[in-house]
Amino acid sequence: MPAKRAIVIVGGGTAGWLTAGILAGRLGLAGRDDLTITVVESPGVPILGVGEGTWPTIRQSLQAMGIAEADFLKAADATFKQGSQFVGWRTGDHVYTHPFTLPHRFGEVDLATAWQRNPAAPFDETVSFQAALCRHGLTPKTRTSKPYEGVGNYAYHFDAGKVAGFLRDHCVAHLGVRHVADDITGCAQGADGAISALHTAASGDIAGDLFVDCSGRHGVLIERVFDVPLVNCRDVLFVDKALAVQVPYADAESPIASATLATAQSAGWIWDIGLTTRRGTGYVYASRYASEDDAIATLDRYVRGISGRGLPAAPRSIDINAGYRERFWVANCVAVGVSSGFVEPLEASSIAMIEQSANHIAEHLTFDPEAMAIEAGRFSAKFGQIWADAIDFLKLHYVLSDRLEPFWVDNRAAASIPASLRENLRVWQNRPPIAGDFPQSCQLFGPASYQYILYGMAFGGAGEAAARSCPDDATLRECLAEVQAIAARLTRVLAPNRDAMELAGLL
């Protein structure tokens, strides 16, 4: 009979419980007697609590955990997210959407080059029906849509505090995960540096074969035990502070947005996420360009504009030390979530990285020390590239702005733009982003996402390639007519988010 193996996850919150659930679901924990998964969660450490936007992969993760979509939506005050809408990232009344659904006939017809030749309408509305759904605040699901399915690709907005508790209860009750609420006081290590057990204040030693550090900014294992430093990227991503506040709706029938709103400000941007009972709002800014008092005043003005009242409470201040670990897996310890790195919450990359990490661990799991060392190196290389790619994508949003405040001007300085992004921007002056520009199969953001940002931000120049790759006029007219027809039909038949959720009994 094989030896019983143990995975120990340090820290709860969204990272710890999502990791536990994905591992337990994918590894079939509930039906095994040769594996245990334990989450050790300090009862006195609050969760970060501002990661309320997700990427569409979250649907596959919840399904892998055996969670019913309706149960999740109710428990987490969750709503449907179909993309991100950017307001004021260029001067004037500039608004564009990065929808989750790919451009129409993507990979078959080059609508991007065609649009560049004749940008008569905004890019997102030209190539994707989902831009209209976001603009009108409509649900992505019809009355007959099955759980986790819709007419367009979608993710969720949710209450981060409530979702952690919901995932914990589900993991313990249905997936066989053990929960220990206790403080970690230290750990025991073998001669090779591998951790053999955690020391806790009241529960004794907790032995394990693989330890997953989901302890957030504390880095209980990856930093305090293994002393792995951060790769600092504050020279690329300038924001280092966030102010977060929960804003009530103006009234009980206020519409629920279908996209995360990201509204540019003089020293950063404000997020606005619509849940069923409130809006999660916050200002992400660079302290070099705005004092905390200035930032609070900026957030207050925004809140007054959406609610008619000032800040309902003093906003919570959060430090953003933008960067990621030099290594993510050392010996038998792997960092997942904020313990592995932290950047501003633009485009909901944080939770998507948690999912990718947990899925990778499940697919490559081994307890053989020599094999684990190989897997550790591969994991660190893979996620180092994922982080670098994600930072390029976040930076892209800033470098294409024409705003004139010092924060925005400095973001366009060549010295602050990674060489990889500078090279891609030069190439994309001649053609749109294509799959071959992204050889890594683990990219969070692929060519379609880059196209939505580039052309939403009025990036110009199709170059000589336009004449060679553009579809013929008949094909182009056919595609554009199809997009408009789909958008017109769906805006007639789909209900506003709040109405649809009330009809489904989710409010």
- What is the pLDDT at residue 434? 92
CA distance 413 to 243: 26
Question: DSSP letter at 175?
Answer: S
Question: DSSP letter at 495?
Answer: P
Beta-bridge partners for 241: 285, 319
CB atoms closer than 10 angstroms to residue 495: 17
- Please report, for residues 246, 290, 312, 322, 454, the alpha-carbon distance to residue 297 in angstroms, rounded to integers and kept in the order given: 16, 10, 13, 24, 31
Tokens 């999740």, located at residue: 72
CA distance 422 to 392: 9
In the sheet with 323-325, reading across from the earlier edge strand, the strands are: 230-232, 323-325, 341-342
CA distance 124 to 115: 10
Which CATH code for domain 5-52+159-232+322-386? Answer: 3.50.50.60
Extract the runs of DSSP E, i.e. beta strands, from 105-255.
Answer: 155-157, 178-181, 184-189, 195-200, 205-207, 210-213, 230-232, 241-248
At 87 the three-state DSSP class reads: strand
At 256 the three-state DSSP class reads: coil
- What is the pLDDT at residue 50? 59
* Mean pLDDT in consecutive groups of 10 residues from the start of the chain, 507 residues: 86 96 97 96 74 90 96 95 97 96 93 86 95 96 94 95 95 98 96 96 97 95 97 97 95 93 98 94 97 98 95 95 97 97 92 96 97 98 95 97 98 97 94 88 89 94 55 81 96 95 85
- What is the pLDDT at residue 439? 80
35 closest CA partner among 57, 63, 4, 59:
4
Q: What is the pTM of this model?
A: 0.95
- Check the CA dihedral 244-246-251-256 and report its sign: positive
- Please report, for residues 132, 190, 374, the alpha-carbon distance to residue 425 in angstroms, rounded to integers and kept in the order given: 28, 49, 35
Provide long-range contacts, Cβ within 8 A and 24+ apart, for 299-304: 299/243, 299/245, 299/270, 302/263, 302/265, 302/270, 302/272, 303/245, 303/247
- What is the pLDDT at residue 317? 96
Q: In this predicted model, what pLDDT tens digit does every residue of 361-409 receive, in sequence order?
A: 999 999 999 999 999 999 999 999 999 999 999 999 999 999 999 999 9
Angle at 48 between CA 43 and CA 53, to 5 degrees: 130
- What is the pLDDT at residue 52? 84
- What is the pLDDT at residue 44? 79
Q: In this predicted model, what pLDDT tens digit does every residue of 460-480 receive, in sequence order?
A: 765 555 455 567 778 888 888
Beta-bridge partners for 79: 157
- What is the pLDDT at residue 231? 96
Tokens 């792995």, located at residue: 228
How are beta strands 268-274 and 278-285 bridged, if at all? antiparallel
Question: How far apart, in Å, do the first and last CA atoms of the chain sit?
Answer: 50
Extract the runs of DSSP E, i.e. beta strands, from 42-137.
Answer: 79-81, 83-87, 95-99
406 closest CA partner among 289, 239, 265:
289
Domain ranges of the chain: 5-52+159-232+322-386, 102-139+388-493, 241-319
Distance of CA 276 to the CA centre of its chain: 20
CA distance 183 to 202: 8
53 closest CA partner among 272, 306, 319, 355:
272
CA distance 143 to 422: 46
In the sheet with 184-189, reading across from the earlier edge strand, the strands are: 184-189, 195-200, 205-207
